[in-house]
């Protein structure tokens, strides 16, 4: 008991520091969300739910929510699809795939600021690499104003953001794929299973856990994304790429309305928490159904 007591004493300062770093900003955000924050003194005046009511009454809130959903769903789907496909390809025992893996991982190693500026140069309307290539191939009709057209700007940034992040999904899934025992596939081949049947009934079920983890991490990443949007479009044109996280920054540090920004943050937290609660309940029901079927 004395040994454990000494251990608790030794780790207590670190635990207190981590607790303060985690909980103090949350408490401060909750306080600001129901207050009017006066700068530069940070003096707060309690206003109740006024900040939240203003957000919900603002006609721009619902388009903002729609853009955020398009952004999050688009980035999660594209990053996961590219990562899953790359993992399946590189899991094949083919000569030379080791070097190809290194090349595919490179976008993930490039700093996000560099990657965003690189893509902004690639999709530039007049001198960008993409449009110049299309024109040289006689496909000038496909050369678009990728970042200046409100209808396609957000999809252009989704592609750029997915290019930078899909190697992470690939590494997660590939690591799990290579951990599946070969004996399972050998037994399936003896039973006459095709490649598709082995993939469907062996690979996919064993990947279920890592797929769920990858989707959760990518959802959180999409919600928290900021730098790529700021560098490539800054929320434009015509606010077509201004998503929830960017709105928090604009309100807080552009309009210096810390109360409104905090209220937006609280609403975002509630939305994300609700999403994961629904996911947890659905996952539990699926597992319960499987146990009942097995019984």
Q: How far is CA 258 from the centre of its chain?
A: 25
Cα 176 to Cα 84: distance, rounded to the nearest angstrom: 11
**Torsion angles phi and psi, residue 48, rounded to 5:** 70, -130
Cα 90 to Cα 96: distance, rounded to the nearest angstrom: 10
Query: Quick one: average pLDDT of 103-132?
Result: 90
Higher pLDDT, 170 or 294: 170
Other C-beta atoms closer than 10 Å to the C-beta of 147 total 24
Cα 260 to Cα 267: distance, rounded to the nearest angstrom: 11
pLDDT for the residue numbered 281? 73
**Torsion angles phi and psi, residue 162, rounded to 5:** -70, -40
Cβ burial of 137 (10 Å; 0-12, 13-18, 19+) is exposed
Nearest CA to 163 out of 124, 133, 131, 122 is that of 122
Mean of per-residue pLDDT scores for the chain: 87
Delimit the domains of the chain by residue range.
34-294
Q: How many angstroms separate the first and last alpha carbons of the chain?
A: 43
For residue 293, what pLDDT band results from cuts at 50, 70 and 90? very low
Q: What is the 3-state secondary structure (H, E, C) of 166-199?
A: HHHHHHHHHHHHCCCCHHHHHHHHHCCCCHHHHH
pLDDT in tens, 232-267: 998 888 889 999 989 999 999 888 899 999 999 999
pLDDT in tens, 70-93: 999 999 999 999 999 999 888 876
pLDDT for the residue numbered 286? 54
**Size of the chain, expressed as the number of residues it contains:** 295
Helix (H, G, I), strand (E, B) or coil at 94: coil
Give the architecture-level CATH label for domain 34-294: Orthogonal Bundle (1.10)
DSSP code string of 209-243: HHHHHHHHHHHHHHHH--HHHHHHTTT-STTTT--
Using alpha carbons only, how large is the chain's radius of gyration in Å? 24
For residue 216, what pLDDT band results from cuts at 50, 70 and 90? confident
pLDDT for the residue numbered 3? 63
Q: Which residues pair with 46 in a beta bridge?
A: 35
Q: How far is CA 249 from the centre of its chain?
A: 18
**Torsion angles phi and psi, residue 213, rounded to 5:** -60, -45
């Amino acid at each position: 008991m004395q040994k454990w007591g000494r251990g608790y004493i030794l780790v207590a300062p670190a635990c207190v520091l981590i607790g303060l770093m985690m909980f103090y900003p949350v408490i401060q955000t909750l306080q600001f969300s129901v207050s009017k924050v006066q700068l530069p003194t940070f003096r707060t005046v309690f206003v109740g739910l006024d900040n939240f009511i203003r957000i919900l009454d603002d006609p721009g809130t619902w388009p903002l929510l729609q853009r955020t959903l398009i952004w999050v769903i688009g980035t999660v789907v594209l990053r996961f699809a590219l990562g899953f496909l790359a993992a399946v390809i590189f899991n094949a025992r083919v000569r030379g795939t080791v070097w190809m893996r290194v090349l595919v991982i490179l976008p993930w190693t490039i700093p996000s600021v560099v990657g965003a500026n690189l893509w902004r140069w690639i999709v530039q309307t007049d001198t960008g690499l993409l449009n110049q290539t299309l024109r040289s191939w006689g496909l000038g009709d496909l050369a678009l104003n990728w970042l200046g057209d409100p209808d396609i700007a957000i999809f252009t940034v989704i592609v750029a953001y997915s290019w930078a992040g899909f190697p992470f999904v690939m590494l997660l899934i590939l690591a799990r794929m290579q951990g599946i025992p070969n004996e399972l596939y050998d037994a399936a081949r003896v039973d006459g299973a095709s490649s598709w049947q082995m993939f469907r009934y062996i690979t996919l079920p064993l990947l279920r856990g890592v797929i769920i983890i990858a989707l959760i991490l990518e959802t959180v990443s999409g919600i928290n994304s900021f730098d790529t949007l700021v560098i490539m479009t800054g929320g434009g044109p015509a606010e077509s790429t201004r998503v929830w996280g960017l709105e928090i920054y604009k309100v807080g540090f552009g309009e210096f309305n810390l109360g409104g920004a905090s209220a937006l943050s609280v609403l975002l937290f509630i939305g994300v928490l609700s999403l994961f609660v629904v996911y947890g309940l659905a996952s539990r029901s699926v597992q319960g159904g499987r146990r009942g079927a097995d019984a």
